Structure 1
Amino acid sequence: MTLGPDDVGVVVPARHAAGTLARAVSSALAEGVGAVVIAVDPTDQPTASAAARVAERDTRISVVDNPGGATPTGLNIAIAALPHQVVARLDAHAAFRPGYVRAALTALEGQGAAVVGGLQRSLATSPVGRATATAMGTWLGSGGASHRTGTVAGPSETAYLGVFRREWLDRVGGYDPSLARNQDYEICHRIRRAGGLVWFSPDMDATHEPRDTWTELAAQYHDFGRWKRHVMATAPGSIQPRQLAAPALVVGLVGSVLVARRRPRPAAVVPMAWLAAIGTAAATADAVDASPLTRADRVRIGGALGVMHLAWGTGFWRGGRGRGR
């Protein structure tokens, strides 16, 4: 039996998303999906009120309580409220681009995949956000991850957001409720270990909004690093060499500082190589929109790359669990 968009249920974990939730849900409804379930912490009054207003507009939308607001818990609660054969995740700060669901169904059926994902397109509303979005589109900012820079369909280690066959979510037990970050990567790792195919399709893409300040960007990537350390401890086979680059950089920079007084020239190798790589990436980066990049833009792109690397690396070595969002 051929699957159609009405066989798809969309789950939306919403937190601190009063200003973006309506746009996210509208993008899902425009795809013709069968239902949208929004999971929201009832104590987050602005988001809860926004969810209630959105639900009044269409009978396909329902709202479920997610006490505490943890993303993986909200995802599992929303999934349990859906009877659909296919489940698509959509974050409240993101939006599907037209054709997303049909492209996902084509990949699911054509490849026999357990889960498919597409491209993550960053749309910025501030100078820092635009620099971050551009930095994410470079190899130095993405590590070559397919959901950031991929152009060819094929097997993947993870899926951005993810459109799942419901049977595979049930088989692996849903999302790990202990993870405030890296849930998508971890669940895809379990699916692959269980024999399921994770597929990347460049015909699918969804937008998201990057952080608008340096402080928010640093906090986000620090948490990414901390939670990756946690995932590595619980699923050691999931780690990829590129994910160790930032932790290795931090070790190299600390080592450079320690030996700088005795051997200044060798000590300069790591920081100078890192800064040269950042400078090259910033100078050759392509804008994420139609506006040309100014010199100030490229300086901010270099700054974004530096913040991302250092925050991720220090978060990894700090370990433990981050805050999440």
Structure 2
Amino acid sequence: MEVTQGKSNGAADDPSGSARRAVQGCDVLVAIPVLNEASHIETCLRDLLTGDDRLADALFVVADGGSDDGTPDIVRAMMNVHANLRLVENPARLQSAAVNLVARRFSENRRVLIRCDAHALYPPGYVTDVADSLVRNGVESLVTPMDAIGRTCFQRANALIVDTPLGSGGSAHRGGRRSGFVDTGHHAGFDLASFLQVGGYDETFSHNEDAEFDRRLRAASGRIFLDAEIRLQYLPRSSARALARQYYNYGRGRARTLLKHRDVPRARQMIPPAVLLVCCLSLAISPLWPWSLAAPAFYLFALLCASIWGALKLGSPCGLFAGPASGIMHMAWAAGFFRQAALLGARPGRSRVAAAPPVFR
């Protein structure tokens, strides 16, 4: 299956330039999945609703997964001021299901789908910047870099290390500065017709639904463009426990994606599992061969260097958490990866993706 882009066959094949025409506000649909985001949702919406006159005609839909902290009340209060703001229930609770729900229910007369997250900090005009870039580049999906920022001590160190190769493995969308075509990234915008043709997100995925979608989009000849000029900020996890839980789930999601599509993982994706295996084996055989402890010792030394670098970079003792944060990311991701691989190996799961008709570029 190949995908076609909305109302044109792409800017590169359209001499009249209709694929690159200016995006109007009425073309844009914005999906914002939430679950207990009372402390963030008002700021998020105010940021998204400002910065461009065209936003008055865009439709913003908050899909709530059953919040019990007053999030829906905050959104309803803002709906009294913003006529283009909607609130819908997301019974499935997951973000993947929320975006699908919004895309399918509100797709009429809309051509661009923007995905936003309540935890992120958006610059004015982010929505229209993404929509304009998507259409200007004639692609099916636009991704943007994320710049981590921190407020608490642990969070500052976490934000520092996650945007480095030691933290994120060198992902282009983690603080990257170069625009270009990529295989995956932080989802910002889609050609709405293409999103629906590919089937939207797999709603059985609680994590890594973005990379799994990108895998299907590429298989359908869809193109993904990273626009490094459009950036957002986000707050990473502020505690070691929350960070471990997050990366454990990331690892599980990545394993599901690889096994679902029978893909071979990239070398950098297998570094954390390899480190975990080597460390465990080294500890297990150390009573028989003490020199085996050299491997985990070298890894701990690397984390120590990261801590020292973090403290110097931040000019604060808070930077010493950079090493532990990196280690938590590696070990939790690897543990989740192995756990999910073992589960799916014993009991293959089922995916819920809407069937898409074959269409051609």
Aligned AA (2:126): Y
Contact 1:134 1:286 in 2 (8 A): no
The 5 A counterparts of 1:33-182 are: 33=55, 34-42=58-66, 44-83=68-107, 84-182=110-208
Is residue 2:295 matched to residue 1:270? yes
Task: Flag the 1:56–1:293 CA change in 2: closer, same or farther, 3 A.
Answer: farther
Of the three residues 21, 26, 38, the one matched with 1:18 is 38
| More off after superposition, 175-184 vs 119-128 | 119-128
- Take 1:293 and 1:76, find their aligned partners in 2: how far apart are those partners? 44
- CA gap 1:124/1:197 in 2 versus in 1, 3 angstroms: same
Q: Which string of whole-angstrom CA distances, capped at 9 and with x for unpartnered residues, describes residues 32-61 of structure 1?
A: 431110000245352222222232220110
Contact kept, 8 Å, 2:48 with 2:125, in 1: the verdict is no
Q: What is the count of residue pairs matched by the alignment?
A: 316
**What letter is aligned with 2:28?**
V
Q: Mind listing any 5+ residue stretches in structure 1 that lack a counterpart?
A: none
Secondary structure class of the residue paired with 2:142: strand
* Counterparts in 2 of 1:9 and 1:286: CA distance versus 1, 3 Å: farther
Cα deviation digits, residues 66-92 of structure 1 (max 9, x gap): 014111111111112333211110011
Q: Percent identity?
A: 26
Query: Aligned equivalents of 2:326 and 2:161: distance in 1?
Result: 6
Residue 176 of structure 1 aligns to a residue in which SS? coil
**Quick one: which amino acid aligns to residue 224 of structure 1?**
Y
Relative to structure 1, the CA distance from residue 178 to residue 155 in structure 2 (aligned partners, 3 Å threshold; closer, same or farther) is same
Cα distance, 1:284–1:26 mapped onto 2, change above 3 Å: same
Q: Which residue of 1 aligns with 2:13?
A: none
Q: Can you list the C-alpha shifts for 1:257-283, whole angstroms capped at 9, x where unaligned?
A: 111111111x12321222232233343
- Structure 2 partner of 1:194: 220
Match of 2:315 in 1: 293
The one-letter amino acid paired with 1:187 is F
Equivalent of 2:306 in 273, 277, 281: 281
Task: For 1:222, give the aligned amino acid.
Answer: Y
The answer for the alignment partner of 1:242 in structure 2 is 268
Alpha carbons of 1:42 and 1:284: their partners in 2 closer, same or farther (altered >3 Å)? closer
Name the CA shift for 1:100/1:240 in 2 (closer, same or farther; >3 Å).
Answer: farther
Q: Which moved more, 1:273-282 or 1:66-75?
A: 273-282
Residues 111 and 286 of structure 1, relative CA distance in 2, 3 Å threshold:
farther
Change (3 A) 1:298 1:125: closer
TM-score after normalising by structure 1: 0.90
Indicate conservation of the 8 Å contact 2:149/2:156, yes or no.
yes
Q: Which has the larger radius of gyration?
A: 2
The more displaced of 308-317 and 228-237 is 228-237
Residue identity opposite 1:4 in structure 2: V
Instruction: Name the residue aligned to 1:306.
Output: 327
Unmatched 5+ stretches in structure 2: 1-17, 345-361
Matched letter for residue 246 of structure 1: P
Taking only aligned residues, the RMSD between alpha carbons, in angstroms, comes to 2.1
1:90-146 Cα offsets, whole Å, 9 max, x none, are 011113223433442443234321111111122222111111111111110011101
